[in-house]
Structure 1
Amino acid sequence: MTPTLLITGANRGIGLALTELYLEHGWQVIACCRFPGSAPHLMTLKNRYATLTTHGLDVTDHTAIQHLASQLSDTPIHLLINNAGLYGPKGYQFGEVDTAAWRDVLEVNTIAPLVIAEHFTPHLEKASQSGHTPIFAFLSSKVGSMSDNQSGGGYIYRSSKAALNAVIKSLSIDLRSKGIRSIALHPGWVQTHMGGPNALIDTATSAQGLKHVLDTLTDSQNGNFIDYQGQDIGW
């Protein structure tokens, strides 16, 4: 059976790089983003690969998530990468936190991944029943690590990723009996719209590292927080 990846936020950055990488390795890829038709690089890939399908999906629209899951109900999914993310405001200080923006970031970074997991667990179970070990992979961030926080600030993004990590840890326990692994991934500081031009690595390097981590993931790593180089990160 040809393995299938479903990925969110596939229109640019790390999501686009992962989409292309898995296509190159012969996977079926279901690429989701809010406006696929307005993503020229994704459309180029769609014209090049018959194994790529695209779906418009706003991850904060829970009805749309449910509809997509229903639409794909007969599709075994071997890997689901929750990549869609929102950084929120930059440059603010303590005392200047925009609580409305904070709620928006939590909706995308913390709540949506769990809603997606709830609706797509049956699809990963189908893959498990065919002898595979399916994975829920969540793009987290090292800035969500409490033990690594030495600089303060970043209340909105940090808290959303720390909360996501708590969600992932619980999922890794709750879904273990279904044969599904759940993992938090730090992609590195990447040259993207979010990471900025001064970041340390490009999207291809991050994607290749993340794929290697996922390809070699073991049962003992279920529920861990791992970077793109395979190194464990403290919570």
Structure 2
Amino acid sequence: MQTLFITGGNRGIGLELVKQSLQNNDVVLCTFRGDTTPDLPLTQEERGRLTWLQLDVTNETDLARLPALLVNQPIDVLINNAGVIGPDNQSYNDMDTQGWLHTFEVNTIAPLMVTNALLNNLRLSDAPRVVTVSSQMGALHRESTGMIAYRSSKAAVNKVMQLLSLELKAQQIVVCPVHPGWVKTDMGGSEADITAEQSASGILALARRLTMEDSGKFYTWEGKEHVW
């Protein structure tokens, strides 16, 4: 049994991460936005291992409250899953700049700030790991157009996580970004390649096997190393 902290756990890949972690007999702490706690069909035993936390990952006040809420709570795996696709207008000649900034707040800045807020909890684990859901759309080797806000935010978070892996190396905290695949969610659309169940299963399998030798590498949901 391990303890996972999952951001954006109320829908899509995040919800599947929650469901499958509970099925694996793990303890799950997961965040959601809004006023209503998600209602899942769970057994009483599963409900005892699940804690919902209302959190806006871009809100400094919310983040500042986390350490006090989780005193002496070890976290084995932090999965920075919360993310946005970005504004409707994000082409080179038609950019919603405020939407672009918000995309960076959620996709790039928030994973670092959430990790910082939970560092003491990660240090309480014997094998702390930080997995950030990124995208191959942020890989610099790929040549494709459009969706500048989303692509640039994911390219940036890849670099943030690579740097963070170096910063936290002495503390023996593994840090890796992961490409979740093209997933059939509200964000990925119905034409995507894989289901949320498949993506979540792969991400969790990867998270379980990560060691310090893997830290700073970019992986796919299938557990394969991805080029930057």
Q: Secondary structure at the match of 1:185?
A: strand
Give 1:190-209 correspondences, 5 Å limit: 190-209=183-202
1:7 pairs with 2:6: yes
Report the equivalent of 1:179.
Answer: 172
Q: Secondary structure at the match of 1:224?
A: coil
Q: 1:211-232 CA deviation, whole Å, 9 max, x = no partner? A: 1111222322111110011121
Q: CA separation in 1, counterparts of 2:100 and 2:172?
A: 34
Q: 1:112-138 CA deviation, whole Å, 9 max, x = no partner? A: 1111111111110011xxxx2110110
Q: Secondary structure at the match of 1:184?
A: strand
Q: CA separation in 1, counterparts of 2:130 and 2:70?
A: 17
Pair 1:45–1:104, CA change in 2 (3 A)? farther
Report the equivalent of 1:164.
Answer: 157
Q: Which runs of 5+ in 2 are unaligned?
A: none
Paired residues, number: 227
Q: Secondary structure at the match of 2:201?
A: helix
1:143 pairs with 2:137: yes
Q: Secondary structure at the match of 2:131?
A: strand
What is the CA-CA distance between 1:68 and the residue it aligns to? 1.8
Report the equivalent of 2:226.
Answer: 233
What is the CA-CA distance between 1:91 and the residue it aligns to? 6.2
1:57 pairs with 2:51: no
Q: Secondary structure at the match of 1:11?
A: coil
What is the CA-CA distance between 1:5 and the residue it aligns to? 0.6
Conserved 8 A contact 2:31-2:53: yes
Report the equivalent of 2:97.
Answer: 99
Give 1:1-150 correspondences, 5 Å limit: 2-35=1-34, 37=36, 39-41=38-40, 44-45=41-42, 48-90=46-88, 92-127=90-125, 132-148=126-142, 150=143
Normalised to the residue count of structure 2, the TM-score between the two structures is: 0.95
Pair 1:36–1:190, CA change in 2 (3 A)? farther
Pair 1:140–1:73, CA change in 2 (3 A)? same
Q: 1:144-178 CA deviation, whole Å, 9 max, x = no partner? A: 10102x22221100010111011100110111111
Q: CA RMSD of the aligned region, Å?
A: 1.5
Conserved 8 A contact 2:138-2:152: yes
Conserved 8 A contact 1:59-1:112: yes
Conserved 8 A contact 2:177-2:218: yes
Normalised to the residue count of structure 1, the TM-score between the two structures is: 0.92
Q: 1:9-50 CA deviation, whole Å, 9 max, x = no partner? A: 000000000001111111110010113625334xx3486521
Q: Secondary structure at the match of 2:91?
A: coil
Conserved 8 A contact 1:36-1:54: no
Letter in structure 2 aligned against 1:192:
T
Q: CA separation in 1, counterparts of 2:82 and 2:50?
A: 18
Q: Secondary structure at the match of 1:233?
A: coil
Deviating more after overlay: 153-162 vs 88-97: 88-97
What is the CA-CA distance between 1:111 and the residue it aligns to? 0.8
Q: Secondary structure at the match of 2:71?
A: coil
Instruction: Give percent identity, aligned residues only.
Output: 38
Conserved 8 A contact 2:57-2:106: yes
Q: CA separation in 2, counterparts of 1:158 and 1:82?
A: 17
Q: CA separation in 2, counterparts of 1:31 and 1:114?
A: 17
